[in-house]
Structure 1
Amino acid sequence: MPATDLSLLIEAAYEAGKIATRYTGPRAKRWDKPGGAGPVTEADLAVNEMLERDLSSNRPDYGWLSEETEDSSDRLNREKVFIIDPIDGTRNFVEGSRTWAHSIAVAEHGEVTAAVIYLPMRNLIYAAAKGQGATLNGEPIQTSDPGIMHEAEILAAKPNLDPRHWQSGNVPVFVKAYRPSLAYRMALVAQGRFDGMLTLRPSWEWDIAAGDLILREAGGLCTDRLGQDLRFNNAHPRLNGVVAAGPNLHGQIFIHLDPRGPGLPG
């Protein structure tokens, strides 16, 4: 019997972890991408090569979108597409941190249907399939949903506290926290370790596709900064930020957000 998409992604994630952990982080060869797009290492490329080879051979009809593969419009004509970040948190990988992840997802007609976020150095594997709930290391997980925003612990980098993002320039009170790796932040909210997360700048699809499904299957809401559902496999694979939390807290955040604040141009 053919493997389900989720079991295929889980197997691929474990293999990705074996490859990435063969490298020593700070000693891995690295380059800076043009245009200030950040670093890439030989580990990113090795993981990407394996994933593209193995996943595409198992699902030859699926399209391919990865941070480390030159994009092609061919994926736009496919019903299903892999959306991959070989190593989310490359800067942390280079520094020798344990907090980096493999983010692997399948989207069908713009909606993510299977997803895995794997942190091999922390032995954490988050997974979800549409309609089947979300798990951490095989155990079900669920988002939290505090009743009062000022008691909520929300993952948000400092730029998200720019008053221009908020109604009348008033940044709401909440407990602020931060973790590297956007995929990991989304997974932590799905797990209920944190109550919400937000990134109000344009976000690449490969950073957030897996987290979107894992969060929703854990009972949370995951939208862009305007409250719109996230849709994937766009011609320009960048979305207008991410706001993720339990339903009650998600609504409270949007009471304070200013939709006219900085976001995607146009």
Structure 2
Amino acid sequence: MGRRRTASARRHAARSPAHLPRPGCCGQSRRRDHARLGATADHPRPRPLYRRRRDSGARSCPRLDRRQRALIRLAIRCTAPICWTSVINNGTSVTRPAPVTVQEDLRRDHDLLCTAVREAGAIALDFFQRGPRHWDKQPGDPVSEGDLAVDSHLRERLGEARPGYGWLSEEGADNEARLSAEKVWVVDPIDGTRSFIAGRPMFAVSVALVENGRPIAGAIYNPAKDEFFDAIAGGGARFNGATCRVRATADTKAAALLSSDSETRRNLWQSRFPEAEIVSINAIAYKLGLVAAGLYDGVIALKPKSDWDIAAGELLVAEAGGVMTTAEGGAFAYNGRDVIHPSVVAAAPALVERLLARLAD
């Protein structure tokens, strides 16, 4: 039988509630406990302790009951990874990080995306300020050296950080490997190339991360106006770092609607919505960001759009409390074989209903 406890230990045990750790289980090393206390009928030899390792040093913790351990496991899953070291009987130790949750993984992707888009915006702004060289990929479809430089930077930055993700860009060759990728970057290096070439500050870098056909993170950045829009699925939308919401406008009489120069010239909206204010901007992703930020009421576009034009914008509008559909009320799915969508209508839910009803007449 081991030695009897000291008088000091007996007094401490008598004063301590039953649920608190026994003497020697907190703030003292396991070896010292064994040497001093030994093993008795009412105080068995302590079990292995568990220590939480921070950036430097380690400290001993009291033994926890089952409920406390369950709460700690739940907290670990909801916070950043922490390294835990368990001290084993033979003196060896095993260190392993707490598992990364899906939400943590998404936030890391979102942070990476936002950083890359800001960097790309700085590149675009440099070309914009000095006037980029440009040419037509095909008649009526211009591209500039700024588009290609931004695309190259984003592909390198995002591709190196997430080599397993797919890639779909307006300025890159399509690769069907993206169809089997779990997650895909959908990129418009410069949305609004015509404005960019003409020296008008109505353009933006637009990037979305798509999973299972739906955008889960997105950012749109107009560096010429320093306007940054970002969103994460389930985490809301932000405009220059502040949470934003779509306007709650429900009546077309009070609505300011965004369209394009070509559709305005064709008098598509003045005849259908004579009571509304129609504003022309030739950059669909940027327009969706403006609606998500509550700066305009809605967007209408009957000209077909591609995945890279609208994926990030749809997430922004949805997370800001709005709705985006086709002119027929259809939903969008991204990263399919066909990346073209027939039309876009985006606004607060009540206004979208009014717009769709008028478009159906």
**Residues 91-130 of structure 1 correspond to what in structure 2 (within 5 A)?**
91-130=194-233
1:20 match: 124
Shift of 1:157: 2.9
Partner residue of 2:161 out of 49, 58, 66: 58
Contact 1:25 1:93 in 2 (8 A): no
Shift of 1:158: 5.8
SS at structure 2 position matched to 1:186:
helix
Shift of 1:100: 1.2
Shift of 1:160: 4.7
Contact 2:131 2:199 in 1 (8 A): no
1:171 aligns with 2:275: no
1:234 match: 336
**Residues 90-239 of structure 1 correspond to what in structure 2 (within 5 A)?**
90-157=193-260, 160=263, 171-173=272-274, 174-239=276-341
Q: How many residues align?
A: 254
2:13 match: none
1:262 match: none
Partner residue of 2:347 out of 215, 225, 245: 245
Instruction: Structure 1 unaligned segments of length 5 or more: list them.
Output: 260-266
Q: Decide whether aligned partners of structure 1 residues 141 and 70 sit closer, same or farther in structure 2, where only a CA change above 3 A counts.
A: same
Amino acid of the residue matched to residue 280 of structure 2?
Y
Partner residue of 1:5 out of 97, 101, 109: 109
Over residues 171-219 of structure 1, what are the superposed CA-to-partner deviations in whole Å (9 max), with x where a residue is unaligned? 1332211223111111111111111111012111111111010000000
1:67 aligns with 2:170: yes
1:39 match: 142
What TM-score do you get using the length of structure 2 for normalisation? 0.67
Contact 2:134 2:144 in 1 (8 A): yes
Shift of 1:156: 2.0
Q: Decide whether aligned partners of structure 1 residues 70 and 171 sit closer, same or farther in structure 2, where only a CA change above 3 A counts.
A: same
Contact 2:250 2:348 in 1 (8 A): no
Contact 1:81 1:108 in 2 (8 A): yes
Over residues 89-122 of structure 1, what are the superposed CA-to-partner deviations in whole Å (9 max), with x where a residue is unaligned? 1111111222211001101011000000001111
1:254 match: 356
Question: In 1, distance between residues paired with 2:213 and 2:183?
Answer: 8
Partner residue of 2:191 out of 58, 81, 88: 88
Q: Decide whether aligned partners of structure 1 residues 110 and 59 sit closer, same or farther in structure 2, where only a CA change above 3 A counts.
A: same
Question: In 1, distance between residues paired with 2:192 and 2:305?
Answer: 14
Over residues 213-238 of structure 1, what are the superposed CA-to-partner deviations in whole Å (9 max), with x where a residue is unaligned? 00000000011122112111121211
Contact 2:217 2:315 in 1 (8 A): yes
> What is the root-mean-square deviation in Å for CA atoms of aligned residues?
2.0
Contact 1:100 1:119 in 2 (8 A): yes
Amino acid of the residue matched to residue 132 of structure 2?
A
Shift of 1:58: 1.1
SS at structure 1 position matched to 2:272:
coil
1:263 match: none
Larger radius of gyration: 2
What TM-score do you get using the length of structure 1 for normalisation? 0.89
Question: In 1, distance between residues paired with 2:294 and 2:204?
Answer: 18
Return the structure number with greater relative CO, CA threshold 8 A, min gap 6: 1
